[in-house]
Structure 1
Amino acid sequence: MKIYKYVIATTFALFSLILGSCKKSYLEVIPKGNIVAVTYDDYNKLMNGSNFYMLGGGNVGIYTPAAIMGDEVSAEAYAYNIPYSAYPGARAMFQWEADVFTLVDQPNDRNSSRAQFMSFLLGNLYTINKIINEAASSTGGTEQQKVQLKAEAMAQRAFTNFQLVNYFTRPYNASTAGSDPGFPIIKTADITVATFDRGTVQGNYDFMISDLTEAIANLPVQSAVQTRISKGAAEAMLGKIYLFMGKYNEALTMLNKAFTDMAAMKTPPTLYDYNVTMASGGSFLPIDPYYGPNSPFTNASDTKESLWAVFTYAGTYGGNQFPTDFLTIPSKTIGLFSANDWRLKFYSNLRSDQKTEIPGGRLQRTNLKFIRIGVELPDLILLRAEAEARTGNLSGAVADVTTLRTHRIPAAEAAVPASVTTDNVALVKFIIEERIREFAVEGHHWFDMRRLSTDPIFSGQPAAQHFLYTDATQATTYTLTPNRLTLRLPPSYVVQNPGMVNNP
Structure 2
Amino acid sequence: MMMKIYQYLSVLLLLVFVAGCKKSFLEVVPKGQLVARITDDYDKIMNAPDLYLYSFAGGWQSMVLMGDDVAAEGSYFSSASPMSQNAFNYKADIFRAQDNTFDFKLYTSNLYTVNKVINEIDESTGGSAAQKTALKAEALANRAWIYFQLINIYARPYNTATASQDLGFPIIRDADINLSGHVRNSVAEVYGFIIQDFKDAISTLPLNNKFAQRFSKPAAEGMLAKVYLYMGRNAEALAMFNAALTDAAAQAVPAKLYDYNVEFASGGKFDPIGYNGPNNSPGINYDDVTESVLAKTFYNGPYSGNEFGNDFLVLSPKAQALFAPGDLRLNFYGAFFPYSTPNPSGRLSKYSVNYSKFGLQLAELYLLRAEANARLNNLAAAVADLELLRRNRMPVNVASVPAQAASSKESLIRFIFQERTREFAMEGYRWFDMRRCSIDPIFSGETFSHIIYNDETSTNITSFNLPQDRLTLRLPPIVMNANPGFTNNP
TM-score range, shorter chain: over 0.9
Structure 1 residue aligned with 2:451, among 467, 480, 495? 467
Q: Could you tell me which residue of structure 2 aligns to residue 174 of structure 1? A: 160
- Does 2:225 match 1:242? no
Partner of 1:106: none
The letter of the residue matching 1:435 is R
Matched, 1:434 2:413: no
| Partner AA of 2:349 in structure 1 | Q
Counterpart residue type for residue 451 of structure 2: F
Structure 2 Cα separation of the partners of residues 350 and 265 of structure 1: 40
The residue that corresponds to 2:87 in the other structure is 93
1:32 paired with 2:31, answer yes
Partners of 1:294 and 1:313 lie apart in 2 by: 16
Q: Distance in 1 between matches of 2:266 and 2:36?
A: 52
Counterpart position of 2:145: 159
Q: What's the TM-score once normalised by structure 1's chain length?
A: 0.94
Task: Identify the residue that residue 62 of structure 1 maps to in structure 2.
Answer: 59
What is the rounded CA distance, in whole Å, between the counterparts of 1:353 and 1:342 in structure 2?
Answer: 23
SS at match of 1:74: strand
Shift of 1:412: 1.9
Residue-by-residue CA offset, 1:223-271 (whole Å, 9 max, x unaligned): 2221111111100000001111111111111101101111221211110
Asked if 1:210 corresponds to 2:209, the answer is no
Partners of 1:329 and 1:484 in 2: CA distance: 21
Mean Cα deviation higher: 484-493 or 293-302: 293-302
SS in 2 for 1:296: coil
In the alignment, the residues of structure 2 paired with residue 145 and residue 6 of structure 1 have an alpha-carbon distance, to the nearest angstrom, of 33
1:386 matched to 2:385: no
Distance 1:246 1:364 in 2: 34
Contact between 2:10 and 2:33, CA under 8 Å: does it hold in 1? no
- The match for 2:131 is 145
CA contact (8 A) 2:311 2:337 kept: no
List 4+ stretches of structure 1 deviating above 4 A. none
Residue 176 of structure 1 and its aligned partner are, at CA, apart by 0.4
Per-residue CA deviations over 1:55-74 (Å, capped at 9, x if unaligned) read 2xx32131111100001110
Residue 358 of structure 2 is matched in structure 1 by 373
Q: Distance in 1 between matches of 2:72 and 2:444?
A: 26
Q: Which amino acid aligns with 1:18?
A: F
The number of equivalent residue pairs is 488
Q: Aligned partners of 2:30, 2:338: CA distance in 1, in Å? A: 50
Distance 1:204 1:353 in 2: 42
- TM-score (normalised: structure 2): 0.97
- Distance apart, 1:452 and its partner CA: 1.7
Query: 1:318 aligns to what SS in structure 2?
Result: coil
State yes or no: 1:397 paired with 2:394: no
Opposite residue 94 of structure 1, the aligned amino acid is F
CA contact 1:221–1:231 (8 Å) conserved in 2: yes
Does the 8 A contact of 2:4 with 2:180 survive in 1? Answer: no
- Distance in 1, matches of 2:186 and 2:113, equals 24
Q: Mapping of 1:328-339 within 5 angstroms?
A: 328-339=314-325
Alpha-carbon shift at residue 10 of structure 1 (Å): 3.7
How far the C-alpha of 1:410 sits from its partner, in A, is 1.1
Query: Residues of 1 paired with 2:467 and 2:435: CA distance?
Result: 12
CA distance in 1, matches of 2:401, 2:253: 29
Q: Residue type of the partner of 1:467?
A: I
- Correspondence 1:303-452 to 2 at 5 A: 303-352=289-338, 354-359=340-345, 361-452=346-437
Q: Are the counterparts in 1 of residues 303 and 309 from structure 2 also a CA contact under 8 Å?
A: yes
Quote the Cα distance in structure 2 between the aligned partners of 1:278 and 1:91: 35
Of stretches 125-134 and 327-336 in structure 1, the one that deviates more from structure 2 is 327-336
Counterpart in the other structure of 1:18: 17
Quote how far apart the aligned CAs of 1:3 are: 2.7
Secondary structure (helix, strand or coil) at the match of 1:312 reads strand
Match of 1:126 in 2: 112
Match of 2:467 in 1: 481
CA contact (8 A) 1:59 1:321 kept: no
Mapped to 2, the partners of 1:411 and 1:245 lie a distance apart of 34
Q: In 2 relative to 1, CA 291–196 (structure 1 residues): closer, same or farther, beyond 3 Å?
A: farther
In structure 2, how many angstroms separate the alpha carbons of the residues matched to 1:304 and 1:270? 6
Query: Partner of 1:457 in structure 2?
Result: 442
Whole-Å Cα distance in 2 between the matches of residues 299 and 19 of structure 1? 26
Shift of 1:292: 4.2
Query: Structure 1: 5+ residue runs without aligned partners?
Result: 104-108
CA 1:25–1:349: 2 relative to 1, 3 Å:
closer
Distance 2:12 2:56 in 1: 16
Corresponding position: 1:271 with 2:257: yes
Contact 2:53/2:297 (<8 A) preserved: yes
Shift of 1:313: 0.9
CA contact (8 A) 1:293 1:346 kept: no
Q: What residue is the counterpart of 1:197 in the other structure?
A: 183
| Farther off after superposition, 125-134 or 311-320 | 311-320
